[in-house]
Amino acid sequence: MMGSFPKVSAVWRPSTWYTSVRLFLATFGGALLALYIVIVVVDPYGVVPFSPPFERPLVSSQRQMYPQILRTGRYDSIVVGTSTSKLLDPAALGRVLGGHFATFAMAQATAREQVEILDYFARTVPAPRVVLIGVDHEWCYRNGTAGVREREFPSWAYDGDRWNDLLYLLNGPTLESALHALGSMMGRYPAHLRADGFEGDSPRDAIYDVSLARQVIAAGEPRAVRDALALSEADPDAIAFEALPWLDGALAALPAETRKILVFPPVDARALPAAGSHAEAMDNECKRRVTVIARRLGAILVDFRLVSPLTTEDANFWDLIHYRLGVGYRLIDDIGRSVKEGRDPEDGHYRILVR
């Protein structure tokens, strides 16, 4: 006689499966809700209209972290630019130029992002006093990666509607910022940025190694080749600098009473185009057009992007385009002198293109 099959002690029931799914969804939804409540209460970006009114540390340099700086109402002046302007200390600028400065200079900030920041500044600050813009490669040489970076820019944080910001907060980076902010308020983490947005560079500058910097500069030195077509053989006016009309529009939108200062930041002399090359002619044409914009809109324009005692000394730079902290303070003094005295220095380390 053949053996019988063992009896099944547990029978699958649809109701058991349904209960398990409901339990999972409830647990998952509850966890998401708890995390969202933490984010909304801590509000690391200062965008939630009903979050508790306490001072929030700036724990990262994410783009969405900056708008809350202006919403404090403490600042009537601003620095806008890329990492080539990050070491312009807002507090020092305020002492030299007057006004209360904040900095929105961000690594790899595209020209379009900077225009959005300027627009937000003009809409948020009742009486803008001083605007300083670092005009570097992002304005003159807009490349293919700019559009990709701009798609990641949090325009929602700069649109003036704080209620729609609630739709963009439930994500990993925001949760991480909230936890860091909470840790900073408990004294466990230092704030990443000063209240005015300045990051500084003192710890890194203390271990600066000029021999290593020279190796980095030499490794990145462009091998410029003279182009067969000189710019003078073409029509310079036919060359398109896509971002410069945006600069024109952003400056024109500012009140006439706002002091506007444009600066070509210094780079190591080896980063400059070779003399007589097409790249040098393009550089000069971009400067010429910025000069026209500055003159028409009443802006001061100071040019540090040239061969000078400042740029030929490698010890002033980390790499081809990033100067050291001490150079930043020197630039601030030079900008103040340009505004107040309106004359070029004897050693020629900068030129005032528009007074």
Quote the pTM value. 0.85
Q: pLDDT tens digit string along 107-117? A: 889 999 999 99
* pLDDT at position 252 over 70: yes
CA distances from 113 to 89, 119, 158, 163, 226 (A): 21, 10, 10, 22, 33
Q: What is the mean pLDDT of residues 251-272?
A: 96
Sheet holding 259-264, edge to edge: 101-103, 77-80, 130-134, 259-264, 300-303, 351-354
Average pLDDT of the chain is: 86
C-alpha to C-alpha distance for 266 and 327, rounded to whole angstroms: 9
Q: Of all helices (H) and strands (E), which one includes residue 353?
A: strand 351-354
pLDDT band at 227 (very low <50, low <70, confident <90, very high): very low
Identify residue 328 by its one-letter amino acid code.
G
Spell 311-347 as b/e; 16+ CB within 10 A means b. Answer: beebebbbebbbbbbebbbbbbebbbbbbeeeebbee
Domain range list for the chain: 59-160+192-354
DSSP labels, 10-24? ----HHHHHHHHHHH
CA atoms within 13 A on the CB side of 334: 26
Q: pLDDT tens digit string along 174-187? A: 888 888 888 888 87
C-alpha to C-alpha distance for 343 and 98, rounded to whole angstroms: 20
C-alpha to C-alpha distance for 127 and 123, rounded to whole angstroms: 10
Q: Of residues 166 and 127, which shows the higher confidence score?
A: 127
Spell 113-129 as b/e; 16+ CB within 10 A means b. Answer: bbbbbbbbbbebbeebb
Q: Of all helices (H) and strands (E), which one includes residue 71?
A: helix 67-71
Spell out the CATH class of 59-160+192-354: alpha beta
- Residue 96 has a CB neighbour count (10 Å cut-off) of 18
Look at residue 323 in the predicted model and tell me its pLDDT: 96
C-alpha to C-alpha distance for 315 and 324, rounded to whole angstroms: 8
Look at residue 183 in the predicted model and tell me its pLDDT: 81
> How far is CA 127 from its chain centroid?
23
pLDDT band at 328 (very low <50, low <70, confident <90, very high): very high
Residue 85 is classified by DSSP as G
CA distances from 212 to 219, 266, 269 (A): 11, 20, 17
C-alpha to C-alpha distance for 194 and 200, rounded to whole angstroms: 8
* pLDDT at position 238 over 80: no
Q: pLDDT tens digit string along 169-223? A: 888 888 888 888 888 888 777 778 899 999 887 778 889 999 999 999 998 877 5
* pLDDT at position 224 over 60: no
Q: Which of 200, 150, 171 is CA-nearest to residue 44?
A: 171
